[in-house]
Amino acid sequence: MKGSFFRSMTWLHTWVGLLVCWLLYLIFFAGTISFFRDEVSLWNQPSIHNIEQQTDRIGAQKQQIISGVEYLNTQAPNAPNWRITLPEERVPYLTYGYAKPKEPEQRRASFENTRLDPNNMQPLAPFTDTRGGNFFYRLHFDLHYIDVKTARWIVCFASLFMLIALISGIVIHKRIFKDMFVFRANKGSRSWLDVHNLSSVFALPFHLMITYTGIITLIFMIFPYPAQTVYENGIRGFFNDVSPSSPVTESLQGTAPLVPINTVLDQVYTKWPEADITRVIINNPHKAAATIMVLVSPGKTLRDQSPRLIFSGASGELVAQTDDELTGSKALYESLNSMHTGRLAEPLLRVLYFLGGIAGCIMIATGCIMWAKRLRERMKKNTQPSWGLKLVEGLNLGTLMGLPLATSAFFLANRLLSKQVAERADKEILAFFLTWLCVFIIAFVKRDKLQWCVMAAINSIACFSVPLVNALTTQGNIISYLRNEQWALFMFDSLFLAIGLLFLLQTEKLRTALQAKKPTPINTQEQKV
């Protein structure tokens, strides 16, 4: 398009990046936090802070399931759906739930959940209404306040542009191996370019993988065509084929007593002796069409769909199951999905995923900043900045300083809002977006170095106040977390302190840069003379 391939890729990289960089920053920011969504949900829920780690988590599962079925049988024998969610490594509590009758407007029934401490089977204090880590998880692909489908289409195209930006970036960084570790400090936009290159290169496999697999997770929305071509009843037919189901059992009429859960569990443990059961779902208990679905954790295999066994609730026999051996195509699809969600990642790998995510945020942020700096450098002296430059600088300040502040606001709202407030979860989310809007308004008015300095200072204060407010409003604090070995909570508070420090460093750096620009009274006098 513009001379050589190299030049056209440079042009493409800049434009494709510019179109979506701020949205991508949001996606990467929220997505990176989502890798630790269980820990975030834990922090947001003080009633589960002090649950002890079970000594034999897997061994205790059988009894927990049996007690669960008994409990649900007494509480709601006529409910259409029972769900027992067992504690996991990162989710310490046990849930027994049953479906409440569906309201006319609802798409899915809501659940009445009883949450227990698995160590003593006592009910936990009532949960605060909060979305926790799930807010960030949903934010990074469903966005918010927009229709879900539209949001996902936008995110898909933004991710496609990200992939194009990555590939064009690789093409233009032909010195990728020569300059791999180069960083030139204090050279204006060149330094920003170096950081941009460094953060892209060292985590390049991660960036490519997470972007490609990210689109794959939503692939059936944007390309339902293969399923529609191959199956007569289109995508429905495909989904029925790909997940195990038992249409014969489900069409039976009449009632039948539910088999003792022991017979089902024995079959499960015969097939998978080391099974780490995650959930037991019983549909239509006490009917002939009853099914009992037992899902186990895929562990460290590259599978996203939990392996499961489906039994008839009336007869106790196995009627459907996930494949033991995956075909090549299934293995490919499952690997791609599991690589993105990272549910299989144990602590070390999860931290590495987080590191990759942060590298992605740095890459996008430096890209945004470089674009603004380049525009400003190209601006002729003594002219007003164009509206394009104002827009870019405004969006930069609003997004890069606004999102961290909004996140701190979300967590502060979680601790400060009273438990009785109606629609509390939505109000926490509102706090997030209102804070972000405020930063945008400031950026709309003025977006100089001074505003960056002030926002960095405010961010620093906000980050420091999160563990502080936590200590004031809950029973624990960062020191008690360390003493009691509550690592997730300790890491959460420490991370906020560390990030607060980083913002403090940024404030200092910007403050000295601002002071260096200011002419002192003596200098101006000399100039006059």
Partner 1 sequence: MQASNRLLDFPKPVFSMLWQFMQRFNYELAVLSRFFIAIVGGYFFTAVSVSLLSVVVPVSKVDAVLLSVSASILIYTLVFIYSFYLQSLKTVWISILLSVAVQFFILSLMKGWL
Partner 2 sequence: MIALLPFSLCLVAFNCFALAKFNHFKDVFNKRPTQQQRLVLLSVAWISILLSLLLCINELQGYGGLQFCGYMTLSALIVMTFYSFLVRLTKLFNLLILVILAMSTLFFGLNGL
List residues binding partner 1 (CB under 8 A). 1, 5, 8-9, 12, 157, 160, 163-164, 167-168, 212, 215-216, 219-220, 223, 225-231, 238, 241-242, 327-330, 332-333, 336
Cα distance between residue 520 and residue 527, in whole Å: 11
Q: Rank residues 182 and 221 by Cβ distance to partner 1 and give the closer one.
A: 221
Among partner 2, partner 1, none, residue 352 binds (CB under 5-8 Å by kind): partner 2
Q: Rank residues 127 and 157 by Cβ distance to partner 1 and give the closer one.
A: 157
Among partner 1, partner 2, none, residue 329 binds (CB under 5-8 Å by kind): partner 1
| Number of CB atoms found within 10 A of residue 252's CB | 14
Among partner 1, partner 2, none, residue 266 binds (CB under 5-8 Å by kind): none
Smallest distance from partner 1 to CB 228, Å: 8
Q: Rank residues 237 and 316 by Cβ distance to partner 1 and give the closer one.
A: 237
Distances (CA, A) of 382 to 236, 329, 385, 449, 516: 63, 61, 9, 18, 21
Smallest distance from partner 2 to CB 43, Å: 25
Smallest distance from partner 2 to CB 203, Å: 5
φ and ψ at residue 322, rounded to 5 degrees: -75, 155
Smallest distance from partner 2 to CB 177, Å: 8
CB 372 within 8 Å of CB 396: yes
Query: Which residues would be at the binding site for partner 2 (CB under 8 A)?
Result: 178, 180-183, 198, 201-203, 205-206, 209, 300-302, 335, 339, 344-345, 348-349, 352-353, 355-356, 359
Length of the chain: 529
Residue of 77, 75, 516 lying closest to 285 (CA atoms): 77
Among partner 1, partner 2, none, residue 228 binds (CB under 5-8 Å by kind): partner 1
Smallest distance from partner 1 to CB 386, Å: 16
φ and ψ at residue 90, rounded to 5 degrees: -105, 0
Angle in degrees, CA 135, 141, 143, rounded to 5: 65
Among partner 1, partner 2, none, residue 238 binds (CB under 5-8 Å by kind): partner 1
Q: Rank residues 20 and 429 by Cβ distance to partner 1 and give the closer one.
A: 20
Partners of 83 in the beta sheet?
97, 281
Smallest distance from partner 1 to CB 90, Å: 29
Among partner 1, partner 2, none, residue 215 binds (CB under 5-8 Å by kind): partner 1
Q: Rank residues 213 and 459 by Cβ distance to partner 2 and give the closer one.
A: 213
Q: DSSP of 279-334, one letter per residue? A: EEEEESTTBTT-EEEEEE--TTSS-SSPPEEEEETTT--EEEE--SS--HHHHHHH
Smallest distance from partner 2 to CB 303, Å: 9
Chain CA centroid to CA 27, Å: 9
Q: What is the DSSP letter of 255?
A: B
Q: Rank residues 111 and 157 by Cβ distance to partner 1 and give the closer one.
A: 157
Among partner 1, partner 2, none, residue 201 binds (CB under 5-8 Å by kind): partner 2
Chain CA centroid to CA 195, Å: 25
Q: Rank residues 188 and 299 by Cβ distance to partner 2 and give the closer one.
A: 299
Among partner 2, partner 1, none, residue 372 binds (CB under 5-8 Å by kind): none
Secondary structure in 3-state letters for 56-67 = CCCCCHHHHHHH
Bridge pairing between strands 94-99 and 291-296: unpaired
Q: What is the DSSP letter of 398?
A: I
Q: Rank residues 222 and 472 by Cβ distance to partner 1 and give the closer one.
A: 222
